[in-house]
Structures are given as C-alpha cells and as structure tokens.
Chain A
Amino acid sequence: MTVTNLNLANPFRAGLLAVGLLTAPAVPAQDVPFVPTPQVTVDEMLRLAGVGPQDFVLDLGSGDGRIVITAARKFGARGTGVDLDYHLVIQSEESARQAGVEDRVKFLQQDLFKTDLGQATVITMYLLPAVTRKLVPSLLNLKPGTRIVSHDFDLGDWKPDRKTYIRKNVFLWIVPAKVAGRWRARLALPPIERQLELEFTQRFQEVDAHARLNGVPMQTWEVKLEGDRVSFALVDSADRENEATLYFEGRVSGDVMEGNLVRGAGSTRVTAPWRAVRSK
C-alpha cells in the first residue's frame, strides 16, 4: 500500500531508507519504502472499488496490513497482503488477530512480482511509478472486470476509469476485456436481416470501432468499454424513411460478445439480442 521516494512527512523512515540504499541491505532490496496510507484514504480506496463480502483483496506492498484488515473488518472481504519486509508481515498478522479477522486474511513475505495476481478480484497498491510500470502488463492480463485501486500515483498511459479526490487522489482501474480485432454479427432485426462487421482498435479501455452494415461502411459512436461491458451506437440509415440509431450493449467473453440492441427510442423502439464472434 505504500510509497514515495522522498517522504518528507516521515523523515525517520526516509532516512533509514537512504541509509539502507547506501549500505548493502541485509534483506532483499526494497523497491518501495513503507509509508502508511491514512485510514480515510484506505476507506476511500475500498469504497471506490466497491469491495464487498464476495471480494478477494490483494494488497501489493501491504506494510502494516491496514488495507487488507480494513477490507475484512469493514467490508467483509477476504484478502492477502504481500510485503518484502518480514517484520511488517509479523506485525500485520498480529494486527489481524487483534481485529478478529485472522481467519479471513493472510500476510506473506513475498516479492510482489512473484505473486499470483489471478486470485484477486480487487488489487490495491501504493507503489512508485517505476514499479507499477513494470506491473502494468500483468495487470492487463487479469480477468476482465478485476478492479485496481491506488492513490497518489496513477498508471501512466493507462487512464483511470474513475477518480476521486478526498484529501488525496484515489484512482480506480477496471481491467478491460480484449476486444481488438474483427468481429462478425448477424442482427435479427425484422424486416431485413443485417450483417454487421466490426473492427475494434484498443488501447487499454480506450476503444474505437469501424463498422460495416450489410457491407456499407459506417461510423460508430459512443464506443465504450468497462471491464467486460461494451457499448456503442450506429445510425442505421439504409432506409431513409425509417432512420434510427442502433444502441448496442453487451458483455465480452473471450471471442464472443453478446447482449441486447435497441433500435430507436421511445415507444417505437425495438429490442433484439445480438451476438458477435471474433474472426480468426
């Protein structure tokens, strides 16, 4: 949960760290100093991530364990904290016992780069940008919909899906599904069946798409991706007398995206299911 290379608020620790860096460390080199996250910020991180009893929270660089313990105590979640510092791991276990959540949390002395991230539904971290930058590729490979929260430091080019400012900046990212490539769908919209081809381009959760409806190229609008949820709109103007916007919403699962589409608005709207498959 913790960081800053120049921590002026905590000169003692910053000093220790500086000494630690100058002398040969007896413990594995710590990439990240321990700076505790204020409790209000811990609360906000977990609130923003929408943590609940079904969640498994993994805290990368768990320090004194407060994020994982808060997740268990206040939000009913389970969780694991990993930290390189053995003493902080022991301290965290003790704090968990005092909070009465030791059966739902675990602390491991472990390198975060050697930690299996796949078990988590929520990942919390407070790491230096140089460290998070190395983590980004692994984070992007997590199950779509996995939530990542951090504070103060963002993930560079990967823009947060949400951001709040309550004393500190708190960021939320939702791991996006991979949608880049060509997709084909058949739309059952009477009276004419329509063939839809989509070509998605993607950079993190930022997506765009080119479409062809019955072979006619058309612009897509409001293309959005959040986790595994995709949405976009097309203006169906094949029939000039009966123009309407097609609003697509769906979920992505591997090489299939499916959901419902609405043609038009108001009482004249028509709803139909749609399903697209990625072409190899």
Chain B
Amino acid sequence: MRRAWFLALAALAWAVCGSAGAATPGSPDVPTPYVPSTTVAVDEMLRLAAVGPSDLVADLGSGDGRVVIAAARDYGARGLGIELDARLVEQSRVHAREAGVEERVSFRQGDVLVADYRDATVVTLYLLPNLVEKLKPRLLDLRPGTRIVAHDYGFSDWKPDRRVVISKSYMLYVVPAKVGGKWRLEAELPGVGHELDFDLEQSFQEIRGGARVTGGYLPAFEARLEGDRISFVLVDGTASHRFEGRVTSSLEMQGEVRSGVGRTLAANRWRATRVIGVGEADDVKPVTQ
C-alpha cells in the first residue's frame, strides 16, 4: 500500500476525485498518496493470488504493513514490505510485533523502483498508474510463475490473467516465461515426424506460432502460456496433438503430448530446445532466478 507523506491532503483529494486516474497522467512525479486498503481489499488481493504457506509476499508501497501482516497472520506466508516513508516502516514493525508475526515479515525503507524483491513468489501493489508502468520491466523479469496482484490500477498493455470486480477491481498477472523465438521440437507424432522447426511469437502471456513440416506449416492452435506452463495444439490430417509442458529454462521446454482423444489417446513425451542463430546468443538471457 502506498508510500508518501502527502497524507491527509492528497488522500482527501484522492477521495474527493473518486478516481486518481484523472490527476495522474502527464504528472509522473506525483507520489502515490498513502491510502490504506480496506480489509476487504487486502483479503481479495491475497485470495486472488491464492497465497499460502510456501509464499513470500512482497508488497510494494507497504504503508502501515497491513497486506504483509495479513499474508503472514491469515495465510501463513512470509512477507516483505517496501515503503518510502520511514515512519510507516517503523509503524509496520510495531504492528507486526502486535500481530505476533515479526519473525515471518520484514519491512524495508526504500524506493520500490530500486528495491530488490526477486525472491518474492507474490507481489502486491496498489500504486498510481505511472508508477505501475515504471515497475513493469522489472516485474516482467521476475521468475516465471510469480503472481502479481494489482488493485484499481493495472498495466496499460499487459492484460491480466484474471480480473475480479468486488466493489473495486483486482487484477492478477502471472509473470510469463520468455518463449518467443525459434525452437527445435522433438516429439513422436505418427504421420508428422519427430523433429519439427517450431516458431513462437510472444507479447506478454499471449503467444502464437506454429511448426514447419515437410511441405507445409501446422499452426499452433489454442496456444497458452501461464507462468512457466505452456500448451498448444498441432493438428495433422487425422488427429490433434495436445502439447502441455513447462518452460524449464530460457533454452528448454518439455512435457507430454497427447495425440487423439478418448480411448484412442496416445501419450508421449516432448521436448523443445531453443535454436540460437549466429550472433544471437547474447540476446538470450538465462531465466531470472
């Protein structure tokens, strides 16, 4: 939740406008005012991200610490709050002790744009749109599968994987693996062959592409990417082949391909390795760990 000193005045202006959106565009230096999320909003964010005991929740602009504390107290998670206002950081630590979760949460005074939260499995934010946009490149570089929940203000071009409206809007984004490029796909596909050139184009979690086969092209239907999970369907003359798998590194993905349906279904393993052309190697970065 929201950094800033601005406090009463900004918060009041915010409340009066009803929507801060009007005040923001074109004024990138307006700090996000401190507007605490309601209990209902905190619950909805953590619920939408399906936070559990194995998660580390990082709240960017953690205010009085309520998201982080609720994640630890009510969901068994660990938490990290990043907040610019030192007084709010101190207050958060007091609240964490009062809630008995001080061992599982930490609060850092700092700027969300430079803070390090790469270990987080869930990132929550309730920030003004310009700041959300500025954070985007770093959020996209988080480990694939990291869940990001935003409240009221999402990204301009990155569509949420899920959106829920309960009084306010909540958006869930799952950081997509980077899969765009050329791949060599190995799979036992009767009638198609077992090594195909496979190309993918990617825009956030949206992917499209297809496989080159002797004398033709098989489009990848129903191509989906959620975090590191990828799926698509290739169709030959007689059957569909449903590929499901994981992107295991920036250079490899693998999984199972099911050919046919029902009782005629045959399952096989598949694997794809990235094809790196001359001079391209530097463009392929390892998946952020």
A43 — which chain B residues lie within 8 A by C-beta? 239-240, 260-262
Is the CB–CB distance between B239 and A40 below 8 Å? yes
Count B-side interface residues using an 8 Å CB cutoff: 29
A window 159-212: CB within 8 A of B: 164-167
Q: Does A74 contact B (CB under 8 A)?
A: yes
Is the CB–CB distance between A167 and B261 below 8 Å? no
Q: With A75-B262, A267-B76 as given contacts, are A245 and B43 in contact (CB-CB < 8 Å)?
A: yes
Q: Does B289 contact A (CB under 8 A)?
A: no
A167 — which chain B residues lie within 8 A by C-beta? 221, 235
Is the CB–CB distance between A46 and B221 below 8 Å? no
Q: Does A73 contact B (CB under 8 A)?
A: yes
Is the CB–CB distance between B164 and A222 below 8 Å? yes
User: Which B residue's beta carbon lies closest to that of A73?
Assistant: B263
User: Which B residue's beta carbon lies closest to that of A42?
Assistant: B261
Is the CB–CB distance between B238 and A244 below 8 Å? no
User: Which B residue's beta carbon lies closest to that of A71?
Assistant: B262
B278 — which chain A residues lie within 8 A by C-beta? none
Count A-side interface residues using an 8 Å CB cutoff: 29
B233 — which chain A residues lie within 8 A by C-beta? 166
CB distance from A68 to the nearest CB of B (A): 14
Selected contact of B167 from candidates A75, A166, A221, CB within 8 Å: A221
CB distance from A190 to the nearest CB of B (A): 19
Q: Does B75 contact A (CB under 8 A)?
A: yes
Is the CB–CB distance between B74 and A266 below 8 Å? yes
Q: Does B46 contact A (CB under 8 A)?
A: yes
Residue in A40, A166, A266, A267 whose Cβ sees the most chain B Cβ within 10 Å: A266
Q: With A73-B263, A76-B263, A165-B222 as given contacts, are A268 and B74 in contact (CB-CB < 8 Å)?
A: yes
Q: Mark B36-71, 1 if CB is under 8 A from A, else 0.
A: 001110011011000100000000000000000010
User: Which B residue's beta carbon lies closest to that of A219?
Assistant: B167
B74 — which chain A residues lie within 8 A by C-beta? 265-268
Q: Mark A139-166, 1 if CB is under 8 A from B, else 0.
A: 0000000000000000000000000111
CB distance from A264 to the nearest CB of B (A): 6
Selected contact of A245 from candidates B44, B70, B75, B240, CB within 8 Å: B44
Q: Does A39 contact B (CB under 8 A)?
A: yes
B261 — which chain A residues lie within 8 A by C-beta? 43-44, 46-47, 74-75
Q: Contacts A43-B239, A165-B221, A235-B166 given; 15 further ones with Cβ under 8 A? A: A40-B235, A43-B261, A43-B262, A51-B262, A75-B262, A76-B262, A76-B263, A164-B221, A166-B222, A233-B166, A244-B40, A264-B43, A266-B43, A266-B70, A267-B75
